Amino acid sequence: MNRSEAIDVAKKTFEAALKEAKYVVQNAQENSEGTWTVRFRWGYTGEPLGHWFEATVNPLDRTVVYDHCK
């Protein structure tokens, strides 16, 4: 999996979890095992992008684990 693919998977996960929010990708990093961590800043319409969202994309077992502020 390359960086662009990892970001696409994380975006789909974000959009499913936080349907109406706007976001911007902060960064995406791959570790030595091939797992990607993608971080976003986000906010609902009319508010600043002051929240965080992080998705860990594992292409080997095809899982995504995510967490975000409430």
Domain assignments of the chain as residue spans, ordered by start: 3-68
Q: Which CATH number fits domain 3-68: 2.120.10, 3.30.2290, 1.10.1200, 3.10.450?
A: 3.10.450
pLDDT digits (tens, 9 = 90+) for 21-37: 999 999 999 999 999 99
41 alpha carbon, distance to own chain's centre: 9
Look over the chain and give the mean of its residue pLDDT values, rounded to a whole number: 96
The pTM of the full predicted model, rounded to 2 decimals, is: 0.92
